Amino acid sequence: MITGSNGVGKTAIARVLSGLWAPSNPAFASVHAPGSVLVVPQRAYMVSGSLLDQVIYPHTYVDFVKAGRTMEEMEAILEKVFLRYLPEREGGWLVRKEWRDVLSGGEKQRVSLSFFFFFLLHLTHDLLMMVSYLDEPCSCFLSSSKVCDFG
C-alpha cells in the first residue's frame, strides 16, 4: 500500500510501477509481464455502451458469452460494490447510455471496482502473479461506506 499526503506522487509511483508511464531512470521500470497488471484509476473510465460494457471492458459481449460468464455473476459483483439496484434503475444491463453523465461520482468509482472484481473472475493459471493498482478507489464514498472496508 502506498500512502501519503496529497500531491506527493503516489499516483505517479503506481503508474510507473504498472508500466503506464516510462520512468526517467530505467532502473525503476516495471518488472511485470505484459497483461499481468490491472490498474483501476482514481477517476473512473466510462466507455460508450451498455452497463455491462462498463463492467467487462475491454472485453466484449461476445468474449463474455464465450467465457461462460453469467448475468448472475454480474449481479453478485454489483452486490459486492452496493450497486445491485443499478440495472433495474437504468433499464437493464444492455441499455446504452452516456454513463459518465448518468452515474454519480461514487457510482462511477463503484463501477470501476466492479470491473476489478470481474477481472478477477477471468484470471487463469497463467496470471497467478497478477498485480493490481487501485488508485484511491474509494475517494468519492462517504466515510461510513462499507464498499472499501478491506479489513
**Nearest-angstrom CA–CA distance, 127 and 39:** 15
* Confidence label for 117 from pLDDT (cuts 50, 70 and 90): confident
**Nearest-angstrom CA–CA distance, 52 and 75:** 10
Counting residues of the chain whose pLDDT is more than 90, the rounded percentage is 31
Domain ranges of the chain: 10-134
Give the model's pLDDT for residue 144. Answer: 45
10-134, which class in CATH?
alpha beta
Give the model's pLDDT for residue 85. Answer: 97
Three cell numbers at 111? 463501477
Most confident listed range (102-106, 112-116, 127-131, 134-138): 102-106
**Nearest-angstrom CA–CA distance, 28 and 48:** 35
Counting residues of the chain whose pLDDT is more than 70, the rounded percentage is 68
Three cell numbers at 27? 532502473
* Confidence label for 125 from pLDDT (cuts 50, 70 and 90): very low
**Nearest-angstrom CA–CA distance, 80 and 67:** 21
